[in-house]
Structure 1
């Protein structure tokens, strides 16, 4: 015996239009919908959600079920929990339904999932991979299907963890079971808070002990570190991880406010032969990475294509090693000049930069010049052949000269400029010249008041401009950039 196709009981219609079911009931049903009387007989305005329309009770008015709501949603849990239906006593019949509804108290009952309503595990995994860690843990406690999807390996390939708040109340066994799946980890912690710091160290130690397949690690510190804090415990955990994770390809320590030394660089060089990018240009005022360890790193990691260093860590020999004929294409070199060692560093000749640019035509150099750099050191760093793509100037001395130099020598490569200096007519004129020459600029941020002609010059001559900070009047801190549509 065959049955007719089951009609759809979901519609986006006004409640009053349900009277059609009273006059013309469906001829055949595989199973009828559950009658759920609602005390709120007044129709509510429709929104974008699809509500369940229910048949009327015998002798009563047509009613519509309340929208599905979560049975309970603890703080931090995801919004898409299993649907439930709100049931109340019927105001139409004047009698209370039997069972738990006899008191008239609202009761939340789980709704029966219809065939096809359960999302496939692959789709759930795609959703869960974008959730914060705490929301993933909440989703895993909903049901078995969600638990399987939340612990799927693809969900954990790229993971961001904040040790400041997300690990509080987290079940250790849940996080421990998923560490094997992490391939790229971005770990945030507050070094001045002992619980956050210890959680980060324990997590790095656990990764070193059981996840040799880690591909990328980015450490970020929030807030200020304690005075005279060398971060030895954190750096020891990083050492242990680099010793174990031989498949590590990306290591970013730019947001780590501790002094990095030769021992760490050599550990990375010998422990991670497949390394592709390494960023050591952090905000510390002491440079302890020597040129010799960087040269050994370049020899041990032939696939390295992105490197961030303090200027004192780079030498002419390292530039020549990068320009070797058998070297893999090198794409990014980020140089920070912020400590006294950078000011006393040996000059890098223009010929070495020219040879490196010829060997790697796609090379982009990012230069960040801090107040510790005197004027004579600035002229040694800014060489005409350097393919500067991003220039950040925060000098204590002359800024007009470097801006004019960039306008005349980096017009073909410059894509981003950041200037922190005192306002002056000379600086405005230099910025206008740079706008006319560097037509490929995508970002310009000047943290001083400029005249209107400067803004007009960048808007007119730079068609690829996407973001700028050019204020015509002084505004309260912080200054927000303007996005170009």
Structure 2
């Protein structure tokens, strides 16, 4: 382009620039009228505009709402129609926890009754992962049952009934509770996880559960359910071949149950949790055959057997006489040196051991035996016990760096001729490969 052409364009560009800058107006333009017509109108940078939150795509709103607490989500739903529609998107109601607490007996906030009505009316068929958290009051448990009774259009995958304090569900008339639970069992037909500890569930209701959910049930947790018999839990094991996790009281454990869980058509069990609880001093406990445990290990060689013992010292007679495949062992009450000696002899799969109390007789020999025989032990906690510093160092040396968790109260360790309390942490740290100090408070 020639210089003449370039120079002819400059005035036009200057005029447009002046117009944009507000320093001149189109009326002052010199030259053809067309030039004035082509002057650009003032523009506003889009970055200066406030964001239009009402125009957010629902996919983005859904992602944001999923991070909001329920109350904040409810407040946000009042902003505009679009946000209110987002509040009711089915994806937001797949997982829900009903908190049913009475102001007089709980400091926790309860789910508002109006919201409960709205959920039942508009979202009961969207609920999939549901839990009910109740306090110790009968009113809270009754409210939970009333909601369960209305979930006739539900298709739950998981259900948990959680009592923050006893007795709660156990105070309800048994028929009322069973009737409400049966509604879910019959209508869901796809339950995979059921947690119903401390409830009056019984054998007939378990049969209803099995009849409608036998192909999908994978986890059943039902400790402290006194109306269930060994025959009732055996029915579940016999027909729910996909069951991978089971938690129950020791009185429901039987040789027949272990054999059912070990059958060829049953999947490999992953976790079996047993609560061994003494309701009355001097209570008698039955014995499980070693052959039944052996069958379980052959079928599911990697399963975890977790056992919680809350017994008095004279009630341990039937336990640890033969080899038992326990992996995680917790003693919630005082346990004798003799029983801990049997643990060292007959628990070769032991991974974790917690002893809350023992007495004032040192556990040196017992601890060394556990280190020798329990080759997979990686976590140990000792509370009101006594161990000499030398024996403790030897124990740590034998277990080596596989001890990922070592929680020992300072008062457990008794200084001797080799180590004082000021010296022991250096020696233990050396064998663990990390800095270690005794605990001032228990961490379990």
- TM-score normalised per structure 2: 0.70
Residue 272 of structure 1: which of 189, 195, 213 is its match? 213
**Are the structure 2 counterparts of residues 394 and 172 from structure 1 closer, same or farther at C-alpha, using a change threshold of 3 Å?**
closer
**Are the structure 2 counterparts of residues 143 and 465 from structure 1 closer, same or farther at C-alpha, using a change threshold of 3 Å?**
farther
Q: What is the alpha-carbon distance in structure 1 between the residues aligned to residue 381 and residue 74 of structure 2? A: 41
Q: What is the alpha-carbon distance in structure 1 between the residues aligned to residue 82 and residue 321 of structure 2? A: 59
Q: Which runs of 5+ in 2 are unaligned?
A: 1-20, 22-39, 102-108, 413-439
Q: Deviations over 1:420-454 (max 9, x none)?
A: 22443423653465356546445433332655848
Q: What is the alpha-carbon distance in structure 1 between the residues aligned to residue 92 and residue 169 of structure 2? A: 39
The corresponding residue for 2:289 is 349
Does structure 1 residue 249 correspond to structure 2 residue 188?
A: no
The corresponding residue for 1:135 is 72
Does structure 1 residue 214 correspond to structure 2 residue 156?
A: yes
1:240 CA displacement? 2.8
**Are the structure 2 counterparts of residues 326 and 197 from structure 1 closer, same or farther at C-alpha, using a change threshold of 3 Å?**
closer
The corresponding residue for 2:130 is 185
Are 2:362 and 2:387, in contact at CA under 8 Å, matched by a contact in 1?
Answer: no
Q: What is the alpha-carbon distance in structure 2 between the residues aligned to residue 227 and residue 304 of structure 1? A: 25
SS at match of 2:246: strand
The corresponding residue for 1:444 is 380
**Within 5 Å, which residues of 2 pair with 1:70-469?**
112-113=50-51, 120-164=57-101, 165-168=109-112, 170-176=114-120, 177-192=122-137, 194=139, 196-207=140-151, 209-211=152-154, 213-225=155-167, 229=171, 232=174, 233-254=176-197, 256=198, 258-274=199-215, 275-282=217-224, 287-339=226-278, 344-371=284-311, 374-379=314-319, 383-384=322-323, 386-395=324-333, 398-411=335-348, 413-427=349-363, 430-431=366-367, 433-434=369-370, 438=374, 440-441=376-377, 443-448=379-384, 453=389, 461=399, 463=401, 465=403, 467=405, 469=407
1:349 CA displacement? 0.8
**Are the structure 2 counterparts of residues 145 and 291 from structure 1 closer, same or farther at C-alpha, using a change threshold of 3 Å?**
same
Are 1:250 and 1:278, in contact at CA under 8 Å, matched by a contact in 2?
Answer: yes
Greater fraction of residues in helix: 2
How many residue pairs get aligned? The number is 366
Q: What is the alpha-carbon distance in structure 2 between the residues aligned to residue 390 and residue 215 of structure 1? A: 28
**Are the structure 2 counterparts of residues 28 and 415 from structure 1 closer, same or farther at C-alpha, using a change threshold of 3 Å?**
farther
Q: What is the alpha-carbon distance in structure 2 between the residues aligned to residue 426 and residue 157 of structure 1? A: 54
Are 1:163 and 1:188, in contact at CA under 8 Å, matched by a contact in 2?
Answer: yes
Structure of larger gyration radius: 2
Q: What is the alpha-carbon distance in structure 2 between the residues aligned to residue 118 and residue 433 of structure 1? A: 69
Q: Which runs of 5+ in 1 are unaligned?
A: 1-20, 22-26, 34-51, 55-110
**Are the structure 2 counterparts of residues 146 and 288 from structure 1 closer, same or farther at C-alpha, using a change threshold of 3 Å?**
same
Are 1:340 and 1:373, in contact at CA under 8 Å, matched by a contact in 2?
Answer: no
1:326 CA displacement? 2.1
- TM-score normalised per structure 1: 0.64
1:359 CA displacement? 1.3
Q: Deviations over 1:382-422 (max 9, x none)?
A: 641x32121111345x43333333334434x3333222224
**Are the structure 2 counterparts of residues 395 and 32 from structure 1 closer, same or farther at C-alpha, using a change threshold of 3 Å?**
closer
1:220 CA displacement? 0.7
Q: What is the alpha-carbon distance in structure 2 between the residues aligned to residue 463 and residue 250 of structure 1? A: 36
Are 1:126 and 1:155, in contact at CA under 8 Å, matched by a contact in 2?
Answer: no
Question: What RMSD in Å do the two structures reach over aligned CA positions?
Answer: 3.7
Q: What is the alpha-carbon distance in structure 1 between the residues aligned to residue 61 and residue 304 of structure 2? A: 39
The corresponding residue for 2:6 is none
1:248 CA displacement? 1.0
